[in-house]
Amino acid sequence: MPLPIATVERVRKHKRSITFEGFKRNDGLWDIEGRLVDVKDQDFIMRSGTRKSGEPIHDISVRVTIDTEMNVIDVVACSDSTPFTGVCEQILPDYRKIIGMNLFKGFLKSVKTLFGETRGCTHLSELLMALPTAAMQSFSGESRHDEHEHVQGRGHEKKPFYLDRCHALSTDSDVVRRYFPRWFRNQPPG
C-alpha cells in the first residue's frame, strides 16, 4: 500500500537514494555493492562552494565481499562527490577494519563503535548499517541455509539465518508455524 497522498501543498528540497546490488561471484564469494547519493532540487550553497540543482552533494559507494557464512572478506569504498573534496575521502581506507567481521554477529554495533562520531564518515557508516539485510536478500534462494533446500529434501540441521531477524519471521509467529514448522516454537525466542 503506498503512502497516502499529501494533503498540504509542498515542494521537494532534497532527495537521498540508497541502492544495493548483490553479485554472486564465480569463485563462490559474493559482492554486495551499496551507493548513497544526496541531491538538492535547487542550487545549494555550502562553505566549500555551490552545488547546482541535481549535482550530488554526496555520492559514496562501497563494495563488501563476503563468503556464504556472511564473513567479510574484502572492502573497498570510494566517493565521487563529497562536501569537502580531498578531506572526506581520507577516512575511507579505515573501513577495511570490518574485514573479518560477520554481518550477523555484532556487525552493526562494531560499525558504530569503530566509526561513530569523528572516527568515520557518517554517510558510509549509514550505508553499512543496511548491508546485512541487503546481503540477506541477495542470498535469498541461494544460501545453503535457505529453507528451500529443506523443502527439496536436502535438509540441514542449522536454523535458517533469517529466522528471528524480524517480527514476521519470529520463531513463535504464525508465519513460521505455517511455512517453517520445523523451526516453530510456542514461545518467544530468547
pLDDT averaged per 10 residues, the chain (length 190): 95 96 97 97 91 95 96 97 91 96 96 95 95 92 52 60 85 92 84
Residue 152 is predicted with a pLDDT of 42
CB-neighbour burial class of residue 143 (10 A; exposed 0-12, middle 13-18, buried 19+): buried
Residue 158 is predicted with a pLDDT of 79
Domain membership of residue 158 (yes or no) is yes
Phi-psi domain of 95 (left: phi exceeds 0; alpha: psi -120 through 50; beta: other): alpha
* Rounded Cα–Cα distance for residues 123 and 78 (Å): 12
Residue 162 is predicted with a pLDDT of 79
Which domain-ending residue is among 106, 122, 157? 106
- Measure CA of the first residue to CA of the last residue in the chain; give whole Å: 33
Task: For 119, list phi and psi in degrees, rounded to 5.
Answer: -85, 0
* Rounded Cα–Cα distance for residues 75 and 95 (Å): 7
Residue 156 is predicted with a pLDDT of 55
94 and 30 in a common domain = yes
Strand partners of residue 60: 36, 79
171 and 92 in a common domain = no
Domain membership of residue 3 (yes or no) is no
170: helix, coil or strand?
coil
* Rounded Cα–Cα distance for residues 115 and 25 (Å): 28
Give residues with Cβ within 8 angstroms of 174, minimum separation 6: none
88 and 152 in a common domain = no
Q: Structural domain of residue 176, as residue ranges?
A: 147-183
151 and 101 in a common domain = no
